[in-house]
Amino acid sequence: MCLVLAGCGSRYDLGRVQGRVTIDGQPAEGLVVQFQPTAKRGSSSAAITDADGWYQLMYTFNTPGAELGEHIVTIRSAAEYYEEDCAQAAGTTAPGQANRLLAQRRVTVKAGRNRIDFDL
Q: What is the pLDDT of residues 85-119, one digit of tens each?
A: 555 555 544 444 445 788 899 999 999 999 999 99
Report the Cα 80 to chain-centroid distance in Å: 16
pLDDT at 85: 57
* Those residues with Cβ within 8 angstroms of residue 52's Cβ, 6 or more apart along the chain or in another chain: 20, 27, 29
Helix, coil or strand: residue 114: strand
Gap between the Cα atoms of 32 and 47, Å rounded: 6
In the chain, the percentage of residues whose pLDDT exceeds 70 is: 74
Contacts of 109 (CB under 8 A, 6+ apart): 15, 17, 35, 66, 67, 68, 69, 71, 116
pLDDT, average across residues 18-24 = 97
In three-state secondary structure terms, 117 is coil
CA dist., res. 54 & res. 27, Å (int): 8
Q: Are 79 and 37 in contact (CB under 8 A)?
A: no
Q: Say which DSSP state 75 is in.
A: E
Report the candidate in 116, 103, 101 with the shortest Cα–Cα distance to residue 70. 116
**Residue pLDDT, tens place only, 45-85:** 999 999 999 999 999 999 999 999 999 999 999 876 665 55
Contact by Cβ (8 Å): 19, 52: no
- Domains belonging to the chain, first-starting first, are 14-119 (2.60.40.10)
